[in-house]
Amino acid sequence: MKKLLEISLGVVTSVGGFLEIGSLATAAQAGALFGYQLIWAIVLGTICIIFLVEMAGRFAAVSKHTIADGIRERFGFNFFIWPFLAIAGVNFLVLAAEIGGVAIALELATGVGFQWWAIPVSFAAWLLLWKGTFGLIEKGVSFLGLVALCFVVAAVVLKPDWSAIGRGAIPSLPEHDGSTYWYMVVAILGASISPYLFLFYSSGAIEDQWDESYLGVNRAIAALGMSFGGTISIGVLIVAAIVLGGQGITMVDDYHQLPLMLTAVFGYWGFILFVAALGVACFGATLELGLQQAYLFAQGFGWNWGEDLKPSQDPGFSAVYTVTLLAAALPIALGLDPLQLTILSMAVTAASLPLSVFPFLVLMNDKRYLGRHGNGTISNFAIIAIIALGCVLALVAIPLQFLGGA
Amino acid sequence: MVCLASCSNDSSGQEEWRSLRSSALTALAAVEAWQNQQAPAEYVERTLDAMRESVARKKPAPVATDIAAAILEARKAIAEGDGKGARSASEKLSRDLSVAQQAKPTQ
């Protein structure tokens, strides 16, 4: 019964934590321009993240190491510094984009420009990390994040063509706008397979003191939580396809367009639900990214760490999230468009995947860490496919980003 | 999202047209949401401002200028709480969009 409760909590946490500004934005644009045709990219991204999250939890539960800790110990600091720099850079960009997402929600709610909200949002996140516990942050905000399920409800209410949705889940060649189509695939995968998700998950497993008895729980949470999360992204895509695409709004290049997805379904409540979903989802991601950055530094440099410790007990850990949150708020406070930043962060995320995933694969096959719980053939194949995917993403996304002149 | 479409290498004329049409249709949808009391006036006004700025940067300039003017008219009507004026501006916007449709680039 206790395990069932933990699975439920874990699934809720995963669902609540899945949707953030990157997945929301890419799903909305994909649906508006290509209808249901890109559902398969979300499905593929979700499968990838299920494998990575399951491995991250298994590694932590069996070896009692986080991924960052394991990479540093196994390969030495001189190697660790490269994935460390890549992941820290990506985390910073995504964190800035998430702060921007909360700031947009607050602008929509109050009418005060988003740049004015960046520093207050950052301060609120810092205060919660400083005063709060891991349980409060992990579960409290994620429970609130369930408001994002309104996109799934909206998708059902709109009575979509389910057979067309089924066809969209199968990879297909573009019917129009070929280069845009492939860039969208890259963007969706970059948004789905964020390194911070599985790195944070491994740190969380250590914070929650998982051991081998949690392997079943871990498997269930990874599969169910990420699947439900992917379902929300698909919900966003379906709503965008019907509401925005249906009205001829095929280019979603301004955040003011987004609330119209839900007002068309729920009226005024749709506006409120959109603001709540965007604000809570991005605030949850802000907290997780702030924490993840602190975990990365503390685990990488061998400092004390733990969200449940007092700041005086882990000063380096607390200093990292303090400085990171403040610094990440600055681009938004200076007026940088959060959605432009989202695109850049997704491309860089895609580029960094091989650096974070390859050493993780070696760890997952090292019997000194995992004993008989090491990766099987399917897991190895999945993670190698993810690395290959990451390389392709990096090769495609960055040139498109710069040549296209976003 | 953001300029995902415009980041790619599709014909720039088509992209300009798609962006212009999407901005104009967003403006129409926002006005309709205000008329149906589905969204607060402040949000709708900001949306119209953003769409007008976006349209004003587009080519061909004369068509874009007309559409931007119609959006501004709708924005003023909403600021004054003038439902009739908003409807009239919205009808003008639809007409301007139809004109633009006829002048749109083809691949």
* Test the B interface: residue of A93, A263, A340, A400 with most B CBs within 10 Å: A263
Alpha helices (H) in A140-243, listed in sequence order: 141-144, 150-157, 162-168, 178-192, 195-207, 215-220, 226-239
Of A244, A264, A263, A246, residue with least CA distance to A254: A244
Question: How far is the C-alpha of A52 from the C-alpha of A56, rounded, in Å?
Answer: 6
Q: Which of B4, B25, B39 sits opposite A249 (nearest CB)?
A: B25
Chain A residue with Cα closest to B32: A264
Q: What is the pLDDT of residue B2?
A: 41
**pLDDT over 60 (residue A406):** no
Cβ-defined contact of A340 to B18 (cutoff 8 Å): no
Q: What are the pLDDT digits (tens) for A5-28?
A: 677 666 766 665 667 888 888 899
Q: What are the pLDDT digits (tens) for A195-226?
A: 888 888 888 888 888 889 989 989 998 898 88
With both helix axes pointing from N to C terminus, report the angle between A39-63 and A67-75 in degrees, rounded to the nearest 10: 70
Q: What is the pLDDT of residue A209?
A: 87
Of B104, B81, B99, B94, residue with least CA distance to B34: B81
Q: Which B residues in the span 40-69 are in contact with A, Cβ-Cβ below 8 Å? A: 40, 42-43, 46-47, 50-51, 54
Q: Which two tokens stand for residue A49?
A: 């993240």
Q: What is the pLDDT of residue B6?
A: 44
Alpha-carbon torsion A277, A230, A361, A342, what sign?
negative
Mean pLDDT of B22-33: 94
Contacts of B25 in chain A (CB under 8 A): 247-249
Using a 10 angstrom Cβ sphere, with 0-12 exposed, 13-18 middle and 19 or more buried, the burial of residue B63 is buried
B106 touches chain A (CB under 8 A): no
Q: What is the pLDDT of residue A403?
A: 64
Q: What is the pLDDT of residue B105?
A: 59
Reported as a pLDDT band with limits 50, 70 and 90, residue B7 is: very low
Contact A267, B38 (CB under 8 A): yes
Question: How far is the C-alpha of A330 from the C-alpha of A335, rounded, in Å?
Answer: 9
Residue with the larger pLDDT of the pair A38 and A395 = A38
B101 touches chain A (CB under 8 A): no
Cβ-defined contact of B5 to A254 (cutoff 8 Å): no
At A24 the three-state DSSP class reads helix
Using a 10 angstrom Cβ sphere, with 0-12 exposed, 13-18 middle and 19 or more buried, the burial of residue A328 is buried
Contact A389, A352 (CB under 8 A): no
Residues in CB range of A208: below 8 A, 6 or more apart: A134
Total residues belonging to chain B: 107
B99 touches chain A (CB under 8 A): no
Q: What is the pLDDT of residue A405?
A: 40
The fraction of chain A above a pLDDT of 90, given in percent, is: 47
The fraction of chain A above a pLDDT of 70, given in percent, is: 92
Average pLDDT, chain A: 87
Q: What are the pLDDT digits (tens) for B47-102?
A: 999 999 988 887 666 778 889 999 999 999 999 999 899 999 999 999 988 887 77
A285-301 b/e (C-beta count within 10 Å ≥ 16 → b): bbbbbbbbbbbbbbbbb
Shortest Cα distance from B104 to chain A (angstroms)?
15
Q: How far apart, in Å, are the Cα atoms of A115 and each of A9, A120, A340?
A: 35, 10, 14
Chain A residue with Cα closest to B5: A180
Contact A255, A338 (CB under 8 A): yes
Question: How far is the C-alpha of A290 from the C-alpha of A306, rounded, in Å?
Answer: 13
Cβ atoms within 10 Å, residue A360: 25
Chain B residue with Cα closest to A185: B4
